[in-house]
């Protein structure tokens, strides 16, 4: 199940693994939503017009999670919306400007709905909105809190090694530079349907192991970083005819998995996680390391954590999250 279009990005790889742990419990195709009872709104996103709802069907004690998302207009649907079939109500009029509430015929105004039923407590937790916080990680907080947490958790990245070793997803590879120090594999992110380039999204995963994140980068990695930047852009130009000047090329901090990788997205696509506070442009990273070898070991790094994340709890315990104004 893709969760694209939601603000709280959920790593696709983790979800894939989560699903294998769920006891298979086949349910029927729904004919209608007659008798569905909304229990709680778990989360909502007013920008993408999405809502995550916990509810129950009549005569059942099982939980359901329903994700409803308004669909984008198409050339076809817009003609149906802007037609005599639509009723409208004026809400404001000022000179040449008017605003209206309009109610098109249902066939032109589709909603995409995902039903998870029966849903486990884990599903409900996954889709429940969480407060988020901006954390300021000084070099000291990195070594005192973040690094011990990463080492203790020892997150599995076997799925990354499966890709690098061509055990999985080899048919999806767009480009490979096999050099062990500066090489990488470029492949489409699972969030991209590859139908159009407006929302192009690819990931470059480096062959070299042991680079956990931005924090580890220094001038010894400049050949790797420059290679990913140059050859990644060229491969995307060659394969998808999208110029490098049309791309946002960035690194996440914190990343969702601790093996070094770079995101390539189309400038037209506001990908989740492309905001200041998570995304660091690769060309800025190269510049900063050129300026100072230990830039990312000395820099205070800001990033956003959700309240239910393990790392957030560690920062919270240390009292290093909330601002205090004395």
Nearer to a copy of itself, 117 or 164 (CB): 117
Does 166 bind a copy of itself (CB under 8 A)? Our answer is no
Nearer to a copy of itself, 161 or 244 (CB): 244
- Among candidate residues 235, 237, 217, the one with its CA nearest the CA of residue 284: 217
Does 298 bind a copy of itself (CB under 8 A)? Our answer is yes
Binding to a copy of itself in span 30-49, by CB under 8 A: 30-36, 38, 41, 44-49
Residue 261 is among the residues annotated as catalytic for this protein: yes
- Rounded to a whole number of angstroms, the minimum distance from the CB of residue 164 to a copy of itself is 26
Whole-number Å distance between alpha carbons of 200 and 270: 11
Residues in the chain, overall count:
326
Nearer to a copy of itself, 107 or 171 (CB): 107
Nearer to a copy of itself, 164 or 248 (CB): 248
Query: By rule CB under 8 A, what string of x and - marks binding of each residue 98-117 to a copy of itself?
Result: xxxxxxxxxx-xxxxxxxxx
**What's phi and psi for 281, nearest 5 deg?**
-60, 135
> Binding residue for a copy of itself (CB under 8 A) from 274, 293, 297, 309?
274
For the stretch 285-290, contacts whose Cβ atoms lie closer than 8 Å and that sit 24 or more positions apart, written own/partner, are: 285/214, 285/217, 285/225, 285/251, 286/222, 286/225, 286/226, 286/229, 289/217, 289/218, 289/219, 289/221, 289/222, 289/225, 290/219, 290/222
Does 121 bind a copy of itself (CB under 8 A)? Our answer is no
Does 319 bind a copy of itself (CB under 8 A)? Our answer is no
Q: Is 134 helix (H, G, I), strand (E, B) or coil?
A: strand
Does 173 bind a copy of itself (CB under 8 A)? Our answer is no
């Amino acid at each position: 199940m893709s969760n694209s279009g939601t603000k709280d990005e959920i790593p696709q790889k983790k979800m894939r693994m989560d699903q294998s742990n769920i006891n298979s419990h086949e349910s029927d195709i729904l004919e209608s939503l007659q008798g569905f009872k909304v229990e709680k709104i778990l989360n909502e996103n007013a920008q993408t017009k999405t809502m995550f709802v916990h509810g129950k069907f009549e005569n059942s004690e099982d939980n359901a999670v329903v994700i409803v998302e308004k669909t984008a207009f198409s050339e076809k649907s817009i003609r149906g919306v802007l037609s005599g079939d639509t009723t409208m109500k004026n809400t404001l009029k000022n000179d040449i400007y008017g605003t209206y509430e309009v109610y098109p015929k249902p066939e032109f105004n589709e909603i995409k709905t995902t039903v998870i039923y029966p849903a486990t407590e884990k599903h409900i937790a996954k889709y429940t909105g969480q407060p988020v916080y901006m954390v300021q990680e000084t070099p000291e907080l990195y070594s005192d809190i973040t690094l011990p947490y990463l080492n203790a958790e020892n997150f599995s990245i076997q799925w990354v090694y499966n890709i690098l070793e061509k055990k999985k997803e080899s048919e999806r590879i767009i480009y490979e530079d096999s050099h062990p120090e500066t090489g990488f594999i470029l492949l489409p992110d699972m969030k991209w349907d590859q139908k159009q380039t407006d929302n192009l999204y690819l990931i470059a995963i480096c062959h070299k192991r042991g680079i956990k994140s931005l924090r580890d980068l220094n001038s010894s990695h400049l050949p790797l970083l420059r290679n990913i930047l140059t050859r990644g852009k060229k491969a995307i130009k060659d394969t998808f005819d999208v110029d490098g000047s049309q791309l946002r090329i960035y690194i996440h901090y914190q990343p969702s998995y601790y093996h070094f990788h770079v995101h390539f997205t189309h400038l037209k696509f506001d990908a989740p996680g492309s905001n200041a506070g998570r995304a660091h442009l690769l060309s800025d990273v190269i510049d900063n390391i050129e300026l100072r070898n230990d830039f990312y070991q000395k820099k205070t790094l800001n990033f956003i954590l959700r309240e239910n994340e393990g790392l957030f709890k560690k920062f919270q315990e240390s009292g290093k999250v909330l601002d205090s104004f004395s």
